[in-house]
Structures are given as C-alpha cells and as structure tokens.
C-alpha cells in the first residue's frame, strides 16, 4: 500500500485541528498576554501545538500496522511524545513545578531509549565507539536538553515550526541520498516527512503574524521527537547523528550559549526571559518575520549542505559540526545571546 496518502492527510488533520484549537482557546480564554518577558505585543491564543502532536501520533500506529515502520520505533515515539505533550498541556493550563517537569522529561527520555536500544555507536575520525552505559546516560541528557531548548527557542512567530520543517526535510533527504530508500529500511525516511507534514498544517496558523502559539505541549513534543529521530538515524548510519546535530545547529547554539551565560550570572534558568539571540535580533528589526526567514535560510543554505557532506562521508562528523557551529556561535555573540536586555 502506498504511503503517499498519509502526508496530505497529516497536513489536513493538523491544519483543521489547529483552527479548532484556536476557537477552543478563544472560548476558554487560553490567551498568552504580553508581559515584560514576552517577544509579542498582541494577546494571542496558545496551545495550537496539540494539533502537531495528535496528527503525527495518529499516523504512527497506521504506519506500524502496515509494517512500514518497526513497532519499537513507534512505541518510542508514541510513549515519549504523548507523555511530554500531556505534561506540556497541563503546564499550559496551570503551572507544574520545575522539578516535576524535569522528572517527567527524564522518564520520557528513558522510555524512548528503552525502545530504541539506547545510545547508538558514535562515529568519529574513522572509528566507531560504543559508549555503553555512559552513552545511555548521555543520550537521556541529550533528549531532555533538546526538548527544553526547543521550548526556550519557541519565542517568536513561526521560528520553531520553520526549524522543525527544515530539520525534518534535511533528515529525510539524507536517507534518500544514502540509498536507504532502496534498502530493507525503505520507509524510514517517511518519519521525518510525517513530522514535517504535521508542522506544516500548524504553520499555516503560526506564520508571522501568528494567530495561535504552539505552547509547551507542542514545543516539548517537537524537541523530544526530533531527538528520538536523530538517535534512530544514528542506528541506521552512525554518521547521521552528527548530521542531525548540524541541522539543529541554530537552536542548539543559541539556547546553549544563552543557558551558560544565565547560569554564570546566577539567573533562575527555569524562569521565562527574552535574552536569546533570536529575541534580541527580532527586537532590533522590530518584527518576527525577518528573523524567522533568516533562520530558515541558514538551515537550508548553510547547515543542510554541511549535514549532507558529513552524512555522505565527505568529512568527519565532529569536524563538520565545528565548521557548521563556529559562524553560528559568532552570530549568537553578535546578537547578545544570554545578555540582559538594555532598556531605553
């Protein structure tokens, strides 16, 4: 049976469900009210990311039932994704203490790693290393950090959606160019494509100026799902972990530098703020759209070619990562990632 009908179906479910969630949020007054830590100026409904969650997760048992993906991958994504989405949904509707959120995040990461088989071997300088239990612990921290940084980086209209679409398209393209589409794992490429399709339906409503925000349910779900897909890719071909880390570079560099600076300053890192480089940049230009488009351009014109270079064996993964990240670090410093906002 063809899998192509699933992609437009997922887009459609996400598109119409986001509209329904917007009406629900307006009726229940689930509105994000601008404050001193916001990057927006207009009260806007939130929680639309639930449409991404539902449309993607509904497709997983269909794929597994048709033997188009392995059930362990489906269970990893279903359990971890649904758990993080529910936790985020509850936090969107009422505050959950940071320690309980973190506990839930690690539980979801451990669930996903159990079904994936843990941390895959790491390819570096022509060698492949099995990191054992240290690798499994490192993978759990990686998944938790990725889902949290995705929440941190979802601060201006469309940026988290555009990032996810670019990363997923790059991940799918890597599978195709490596010839995975002609192997026994012929349909593994469709997983990132399905996630991209779910985000496309939501982006119709979230594109600047946004008519609804993603909310913690959607951003956390995207973070851990992208993390699981990156680890799954490394099980298919070890060098692909580096490629996915490169594709995620804009978010990883900005969020990590911002976190480190805030930690050194003694800030409460779990509190809302607007000191990321992309937030400083959007205030400088006075609009969200140019920054969101620039992020998409960096992904497609800089990070994607390097990710393909690494994935196809043209350069070592760690070296490719450094080449990709150095200019991103320069941009993050230039736009004051992690620095306090100077108010006139």
Q: Which helix (H) or strand (E) holds 217?
A: helix 215-236
| Of 305, 325, 301, residue with least CA distance to 315 | 305
Angle at which helices 50-65 and 6-27 cross, to 10°: 150
Distance from C-alpha of 47 to C-alpha of 168, rounded to nearest angstrom = 22
Distance from C-alpha of 96 to C-alpha of 75, rounded to nearest angstrom = 26
CA-to-CA dists, residue 10 to 23, 53, 216, 239, 338, angstroms: 20, 11, 21, 30, 37
Distance from C-alpha of 230 to C-alpha of 113, rounded to nearest angstrom = 12
Query: Tokens 């306090």 belong to which residue?
Result: 340
Cis preceding-peptide flag for 210 (omega within 30 of 0): no
| Of 270, 254, 202, 194, residue with least CA distance to 229 | 194
**Has 216 been labeled as part of a binding site?**
yes
For residue 201, the number of C-alpha atoms closer than 13 Å in the C-beta half-sphere is: 30
Give the chain's length: 344
**Which backbone phi and psi does 312 adopt, to 5 degrees?**
-90, 5
122-124 and 127-129 beta bridge pairing: antiparallel
Distance from C-alpha of 275 to C-alpha of 282, rounded to nearest angstrom = 11
**Which backbone phi and psi does 4 adopt, to 5 degrees?**
-65, -25
Q: Which residues contact 212 (CB under 8 A, 6 or more apart)?
A: 18, 21, 22, 25, 44, 45, 46, 47, 48, 205, 206
| Of 263, 265, 295, 301, residue with least CA distance to 277 | 295
Residue numbers belonging to the annotated binding site for Mg(2+): 151, 216
Residue list for the binding site = 151, 216
């Amino acid at each position: 049976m063809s899998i192509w009908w699933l992609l437009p179906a997922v887009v459609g479910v996400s598109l119409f469900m986001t509209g329904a969630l917007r009406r629900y949020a307006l009726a229940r007054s689930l509105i994000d009210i601008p404050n001193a830590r916001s990057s927006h100026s207009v009260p806007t409904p939130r929680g639309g990311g639930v449409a991404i969650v539902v449309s993607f997760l509904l497709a997983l048992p269909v794929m597994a039932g048709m033997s188009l993906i392995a059930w362990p991958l489906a269970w990893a994504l279903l359990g971890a994704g649904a758990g993080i989405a529910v936790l985020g949904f509850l936090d969107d509707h009422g505050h959950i203490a940071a320690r309980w959120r973190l506990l839930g995040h690690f539980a979801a990461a451990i669930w996903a790693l159990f079904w994936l088989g843990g941390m895959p071997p790491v390819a570096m300088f022509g060698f492949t290393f099995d990191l054992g239990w240290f690798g499994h612990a490192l993978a759990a921290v990686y998944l938790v950090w990725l889902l949290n940084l995705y929440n941190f980086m979802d601060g201006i209209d469309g940026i988290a959606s555009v990032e996810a679409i670019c990363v997923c398209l790059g991940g799918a393209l890597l599978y195709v160019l490596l010839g995975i589409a002609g192997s026994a794992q012929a349909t593994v490429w469709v997983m990132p494509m399905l996630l991209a399709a779910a985000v496309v339906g939501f982006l119709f409503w979230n594109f600047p100026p946004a008519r609804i925000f993603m909310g913690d349910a959607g951003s956390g779900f995207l973070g851990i799902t992208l993390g699981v897909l990156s680890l799954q890719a490394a099980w298919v071909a070890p060098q692909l972990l580096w490629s996915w880390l490169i594709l995620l570079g804009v978010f990883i560099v900005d969020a990590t530098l911002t976190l480190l600076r805030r930690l050194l300053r003694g800030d409460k890192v779990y509190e809302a703020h607007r000191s990321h480089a992309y937030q400083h940049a959007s205030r400088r230009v006075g609009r969200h759209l140019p920054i969101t488009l620039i992020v998409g351009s960096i992904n497609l014109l800089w990070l994607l070619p390097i990710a393909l270079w690494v994935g196809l064996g043209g350069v070592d993964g760690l070296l490719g990562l450094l080449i990709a990240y150095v200019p991103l670090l320069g941009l993050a410093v230039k736009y004051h990632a992690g620095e306090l906002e100077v108010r006139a």
